[in-house]
């Protein structure tokens, strides 16, 4: 208990603190090592979250563009139906003025459909481009996740080194940290 209120440590915290105070140089080196790893881990974690957010943003854009394209294709279909009805009516009527009116409608629908088709295809291309950007943005995420896992393993092994005084565990921590750094670099290559 401290002078400013209740301060409770878990058994692990107490053991690490005790080993740090009485472990001399080893405890201090491991404390610095774990602080550096925690900092690198925080950066890797941020970058991993950023890649996910960026990928989701692009995927959302892809879905929106795909929906807009679908709406255009529905509009195209409606114009096709109106065109077919106008063609049918032109063939049924015996009044030449009405037949000309229906044929003019057929021509108008054909032009409108061409514009609608062009817009729908443009939106589909934008959807595909956004989906490709999403996949590209997410590509480094798996390597970043592996990097973060290895950095956490290194921190855990370093903590166990302080507790057990088994220096060979520090070598394992160093290897895990190195592998984590390599995966972090690979993620951005």
142-174 residue pLDDT tens: 999 999 999 999 999 999 998 888 889 999 999
User: What is the C-alpha to C-alpha distance for residues 152 and 13, in angstroms, rounded to an integer?
Assistant: 17
% the chain with pLDDT above 70:
87
Q: Has residue 23 got a pLDDT over 80?
A: no
10: in domain: no
5: in domain: no
- The total domain count for the chain is 1
16: in domain: no
15: in domain: no
9: in domain: no
Which pLDDT score, from 0 to 100, does residue 20 have?
Answer: 52
6: in domain: no
Which pLDDT score, from 0 to 100, does residue 167 have?
Answer: 86
For residue 90, give its domain range: 25-187
| Mean pLDDT calculated for residue range 95-107 | 93
Q: Has residue 62 got a pLDDT over 60?
A: yes
Q: How far is CA 10 from CA 7, 15, 26, in A?
A: 10, 9, 22
User: What is the C-alpha to C-alpha distance for residues 51 and 61, in angstroms, rounded to an integer?
Assistant: 15
7: in domain: no
Instruction: Band the pLDDT of 22: cuts 50, 70, 90.
Output: low
148: in domain: yes
């Amino acid at each position: 208990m401290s002078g400013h209120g209740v301060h409770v440590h878990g058994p692990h915290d107490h053991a690490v603190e005790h080993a740090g105070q009485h472990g001399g140089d080893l405890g201090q080196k491991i404390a610095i090592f774990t602080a550096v790893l925690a900092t690198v881990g925080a950066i890797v974690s941020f970058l991993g979250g950023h890649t996910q957010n960026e990928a989701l943003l692009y995927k959302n854009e892809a879905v929106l563009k795909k929906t807009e394209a679908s709406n255009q294709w529905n509009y195209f279909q409606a114009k096709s139906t109106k065109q077919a009805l106008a063609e049918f009516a032109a063939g049924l009527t015996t009044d030449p003025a009405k037949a000309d009116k229906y044929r003019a409608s057929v021509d108008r629908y054909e032009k409108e459909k061409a514009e609608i088709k062009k817009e729908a295809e443009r939106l589909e291309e934008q959807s595909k481009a956004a989906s490709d950007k999403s996949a590209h943005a997410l590509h480094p995420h798996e390597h970043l996740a592996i990097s973060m896992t290895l950095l956490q393993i290194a921190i855990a092994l370093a903590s166990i080194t302080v507790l057990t005084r088994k220096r060979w565990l520090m070598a394992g921590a160093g290897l895990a940290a190195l592998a984590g750094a390599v995966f972090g670099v690979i993620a951005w290559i």
